[in-house]
Structure 1
Amino acid sequence: PGKTSAQEMEAYQKENAIEILSNNAKIQAVRNTKLNVWMVTFFEAGTFKHKELSVTVDKPCVLMVKDINAKSANLHIADPGQTQSPIQVELKIGKKKQALTADFSQTGIYAGATKQYTVKL
């Protein structure tokens, strides 16, 4: 994104800031190593684990986790299927664990919109 020449794209690729962590029928996950931002798409309930981060969900969803090395992480979650049902999320960072419910009920025309949560660790 935002690259207008082959040289810019080559320089961007050499920076290697984007790391593909999972790319299969159940989970797609990437991490920006410079920004320490994790993006995970769950196509079904499951668990994604990589190094210090583990995320478990009970339904398909898309989420982004930021600031995992701070006292509180930021979790952004969306229900692209617009099911308007709650999604249970368990976030583990190292030995710290936090569970939350992302409630998408009663979202009406905003059913696919992202919700943001601050997770204290």
Structure 2
Amino acid sequence: MIARKTLATLGIATAIAGGAALVPSAVPQADAYTYNWGAIAYDYNGRVVVTRGDYSSSNAAVRAVKSRCGSHCGQFSFYNSCGAVAYKFTGSRTRVGTARGYATRAAASNAARSQAGYGSYVRGWSCTTRYN
């Protein structure tokens, strides 16, 4: 009987000591990495629709621009960065340059113009917040 009480007491003491290790510490946990998504939709006639604000997913950002541009539009998404689209119209041909993943509007615009070719111009750009 005494052995059972001793074992029970030891078991309770062990459980309490072990449970103390499960108590969360007072140190705050770091926030999870936040993805803020943006998107740009464009067509070959020069129409461009860009996101304003941050979306929680790529699909949500793309849906926002596709609903305003139409199903015939091309689109791309980006997160925690900037994107841009540039055009160059030459007679019956249109060259489109797209850029995403750049830290600044200027960098995205330059990359889009470079892709579209000499003499192109930027028709739209967008940047998300929190470049984590």
**TM-score when normalising by structure 1:** 0.29
Q: Answer 1 or 2: higher relative contact order, Cα 8 Å, separation at least 6.
A: 2
Which protein is richer in helix relative to its size?
A: 2
Structure 1 or 2: more strand by fraction: 1
